[in-house]
Amino acid sequence: MTWHSLADEPLWYKDAVIYELPIKSFFDSNGDGIGDLPGLIEKLDYVHSLGVTCLWLLPFFPSPLRDDGYDIADYRAVHPSYGSVDDFQKLVNAAHERGLRVLIELVLNHTSDQHAWFQRAQRAPATSPDRDFYVWSDSDQKYPDARIAFVDTESSNWAWDPLAQAYYWHRFFHHQPDLNYDNPAVIQEMLGVMDFWLEMGVDGFRLDAVPYLVEREGTTCENLPETHAVLKAIRRHIDRRWPNRLLLAEANQPPEEVRAYFGEADECHMAYHFPVMPRLFLALHLEERDPIVEAIANTPAIPDTCQWALFLRNHDELTLEMVSDYERDYMYLAFGALPQARLNVGIRRRLAPLMNNSRRRIELLMSVLLSFPGTPIIYYGDEIGMGDDLQLGDRNGIRTPMHWTGDRNAGFSRAEPSQLYSPVITDPVFGCQAVNVEAEEREPASLLHWMRNMIRLRRLFKVFGRGGIEFLNPANRKILAYVRRHQADVVLCVANLSRSVQPVELDLTAFAGWVPVEMLGYTEFPPITRAPYFLAVGPYGFYWFELQHPA
């Protein structure tokens, strides 16, 4: 029996566990070397078996693929390599049948220079409505305070267009011209695009690069009030026509700036918490909790219906923009020792290589991800401990084919290896013969089974997605301890950030008389008294305790 019908729950995203994947990397059903929608449908049972509740699909639209699909040439179609709109509809239906929601990308800020809108704008008269879809200038000196995102490849945010005989604004790559959100027709077009996909049943959009929608002289062109006005208009449209659908903001900004993207619960439902992620890695390397505690302490409160999105790794580099200069230098030394691992302002590595393939350290970070306030996002392949390939350019080394088996092409495709969109990982430690789904399915103690259990355990307790957090302050700074509370549920989490066993005394006097029950094994620990509560935590160990009130 399956009772998988998607509940009519407006706050579903608070209880969600999101699985991020690029369609091209997941499974190739037709043997052309590129993953596709029918392939993903074939593997949906695997995704469902992980216990995750929502898919986040990276861009799958027609595109010249000069920025891995974030350069969109047509918002209302599917890239032919991945399938068709009909295939996408089948995917949404199949996902919903399994109780999985579907989140897709909406790149609001820019299009590809191959998009019909841009090609029309290039040829249109200077003051025409068609030209007005993008941001043009006779000079490349406007908006000088705007920073350049991809410093490794771009020297200016302006590019000269010989056809238009004008400069166009691009906040990212020069082949990605920014749309002009001062033009109401652009907003109308984008709302139409959203309706197109919402009509097919998608459950929400990840709004890419939202801080940069509008430009104004004398500003950094980030987080402007006019940008927020655009997002509010989008939210009004969603609320009016599409209840229970989600807007997730990608705003790589400090939390106090990101806070504005929630508005008064009238902009985005969710936004990424960028500073937490690098500080988790930092704290683990420093073997002390302060970087994590500070990151959360500096996080502003958000409206009750809003939620942070948390992640350890994703399809981009481990960005270090949101840490101090000192912390960035430390992180490069600690995790980016190989020069080729560095990209832009970050480190382009997957989770397992960053952790030197230490199972205990991976589990520790995952336990924090799954128990911190917010909705966790798991990047495809991290559930089996996949590695990366630093020989591949840009961020392609962390977007390699999924390892299904130890066979040819990692079981990802029947194509000739030379035809694959990307080589599979073959090194002795992380190669597909060492790390793959088939082997981990058969190995009871594998990371894959561990992940499944942990995800399912998290889902049993709404406190993880909805509760508040209070940090404890034990003298041993190698111990991270916090209490999560939601209604009657109280959970105590204790993590040892160091490589050696650690003693800790916790002040739990507020819970005197309560009984901690270790959540994985459902083991009762001694009752809490007014005395300090003593625990010994193994190397990189962690506990989740359900605090049971004396009945």
Partner 1 sequence: MASTGLSSSTPPDVAPAKGAAVVVGIASHDDEATIGTVARHVSEGLYPHRSAGCIVIADGGSTDRTLQRAYEAVAGACAVVTAPYERSAFEPLRSPYHGLPGRAAAIRAVLRTARDRDAKACAFVDARVTSLAPEWLPRLIEPVFDHGYDYVSPYYVRHPHEGAITKSIIYPMFRALYGLRIRQPAAGEFGCSTRLIPHLLDQGFWDGEEAETGIDLWLASAAAAGGFRVCEAVLGCRTHASRAETPDLSTTFAQVVGALFADLEARAETWQRVRGSMAVPAFGLPPAGGMSPPPVDAESMLDAFRLGFRALRDVWAWIVLPRVILELKRLAEAPAEQFRLDDDLWAQIVYDFALAYRARSMPREHLLGALTPLYLGWLAAFVMGTSGWNQKDIDDRVEQLCVAFETKKPYLISGWRWPERFRA
Using CB under 8 A as the binding rule, whether residue 519 contacts partner 1 is answered as: yes
Q: Is 294 labeled as catalytic in the residue annotation?
A: no
487 binds partner 1, rule: CB under 8 A: no
Residue type, 206: R
Catalytic residue among 203, 208, 215, 546: 208
Q: Residue 205 corresponds to which amino acid?
A: F
Under 8 Å between Cβ of 459 and 53? yes
Pairing relation of β-strands 101-107 and 479-486?
unpaired
User: N- to C-terminal Cα distance for the chain?
Assistant: 34
CB 221, min distance to partner 1, A: 46
Per CB under 8 A, the list member of 523, 529, 536, 538 interacting with partner 1 is: 523
User: Sign of the C-alpha dihedral, residues 188, 193, 195, 198?
Assistant: negative
Looking at the Cβ atoms of 163 and 445, the one nearer to partner 1 is 445
Query: Which position has the token pair 């966790």?
Result: 376
SS3 state of residue 25: helix
Nearest 10 degrees: Cα torsion 353, 357, 363, 367: -20
Non-local (6+) Cβ contacts of 236 within 8 A are 266
Please choose, out of 101-109, 289-297, 474-482, 521-529, the segment that lies near partner 1 by the rule CB under 8 A. Answer: 521-529
Verify whether residue 208 is a known catalytic residue. yes
- Which span sits near partner 1 by CB under 8 A: 2-10, 87-95, 261-269, 419-427? 2-10
Judged by CB under 8 A, the residue of 225, 301, 522, 526 near partner 1 is: 522
Residue of 5, 139, 155, 418 interacting with partner 1 (CB under 8 A): 5
Q: Is 243 in the site for partner 1 (CB under 8 A)?
A: no
Mask: binding to partner 1, 444-473, rule CB under 8 A, as x and -?
A: xx---xx--x--xx-xxxx-----------
Q: Does 551 bind partner 1 (CB under 8 A)?
A: yes
Question: Closest distance between partner 1 and the C-beta of residue 524, in Å?
Answer: 8
**225 touching partner 1, by CB under 8 A:** no
| Exposed e or buried b per residue across 311-322, where buried means at least 16 C-beta atoms within 10 angstroms of its C-beta | bbbbbbbbbbbb
d(CA 373, CA 295): 12
Write the interaction track for partner 1 spanning residues 388-427; mark x where CB under 8 A is met and - where it is not: ----------------------------------------
- Catalytic one of 250, 288, 363, 389: 250
Buried-state track 523-532, b at ≥16 Cβ within 10 A, e below 16: eeeeebeeee
Q: What character string, x for contact with partner 1 (CB under 8 A) and - otherwise, covers 531-550?
A: -----------------x--
| Residue 521 lies near partner 1 (rule: CB under 8 A) | yes
Question: How many residues line the site for partner 1 (CB under 8 A)?
Answer: 26
What minimum distance in Å lies between the beta carbon of 312 and partner 1?
21
Site for partner 1 (CB under 8 A): which residue of 2, 139, 155, 418?
2
Burial grade of 379 (CB within 10 A; 0-12, 13-18, 19 or more): buried
DSSP β-ladder status, 166-169 and 158-161:
antiparallel
At its nearest, how many Å lie between partner 1 and the CB of residue 522? 4
Using rule CB under 8 A, residue 93 touches partner 1: no
Rounded to a whole number of angstroms, the minimum distance from the CB of residue 441 to partner 1 is 11
Residue closer to partner 1 (CB basis): 218 or 550:
550
Residues constituting the chain: 551
Where in 411-478 does DSSP place strands (E)? 468-471
Smallest distance from partner 1 to CB 546, Å: 9
Q: How far apart are CA 138 and CA 220, in angstroms?
A: 20
Nearest approach, Cβ of residue 547 and partner 1 (Å): 12
Cβ–Cβ < 8 Å for 13, 62: no
Query: What residues have CB less than 8 Å from 469, skipping those under 6 apart?
Result: 296, 372, 373, 482, 483, 484
Q: Closest separation between CB of residue 521 and partner 1, Å?
A: 5
* Residues contributing to the site for partner 1 (CB under 8 A): 1-5, 7, 444-445, 449-450, 453, 456-457, 459-462, 489, 519-524, 548, 551
Catalytic residue annotation: 208, 250
